[in-house]
Amino acid sequence: MSEQQLAPPAVLEPPKPVEVVQPTKANEMVPLEPETIQGLDHKVASFVDSVITLEVESDEFKSRLSAIHDMGNKEVQAAAQVSNRMLDRPTRAMESGLFDENSKVSTSLVELRRVVEDLDPSRHGDLLSPRKFLGLFPIGNKLRDYFNKYRSSQSHINAIIEALGRSKEELIQDNTAIEQEKSTLWHTMGKLKEYIYLGQQIDQRLEARVNELEAQSPEKARVVREEMLFYVRQKVQDLLTQLA
């Protein structure tokens, strides 16, 4: 019989660290639907037209400036809150789960192991041999005593299993909450992507018309460059960073 050569065990390698998502790549991760883009383009066209036609000192023009400064702020705050809650869950799990010796799960498992080990027949010697008083006089049946102990421990075991069942339900609820948080975060990321698209389009269209505006009103062109174009570009970069 020929000897079969055994292959050496595979070399275990640690998992690669999570790659940092660059802001430009993050923008590609959340696509926009064509009908959404169409609606956003309409908003951009209306916004740019109003900026070009409105007087700089008018309340309407100032409201456009405020809109640029406030664009996406609510969504950024919402995304940060969801991220913090999701990051907080693993920490709380380590503090209250199997990693904490005082947690319900840990104490229940330790107690269950203690009870089961105590009922291990091998720990009770020869169960078929009679018990003897002072090692000399037979005084009962070791097998019967073992089963009596088993029956008395059954309610204790059932209580431990019920406690573990409740912990399982809590874990299921936590997982459900995490899935809901993920859904909320994805929706918020979609809104961030919409604001990024709006900012990029406003930047392009205002830049294309600011020279035309400068010929008519140099002061207004300066305000558009310094108060709108500058901040809309900064806002887009901030939103891309948040999206990553």
pLDDT tens digits, one per residue of 106-152: 777 788 888 777 766 666 555 555 554 444 434 456 666 767 777 77
SS3 assignment, position 69: helix
Residues 171 and 55: beta-carbon distance below 8 Å: no
pLDDT of residue 114: 82
The tens digit of pLDDT for each residue in 48-77 reads 999 999 998 999 999 999 999 999 999 888
* Alpha helices per DSSP H over the chain: 23-29, 34-53, 59-70, 73-96, 104-118, 142-216, 218-223, 230-243
- For residue 221, the Cα-to-chain-centroid distance in whole angstroms is 44
Strand partners, 141: 130
| pLDDT for 136 | 43
Nearest to 67 by CA among 186, 191, 231: 231
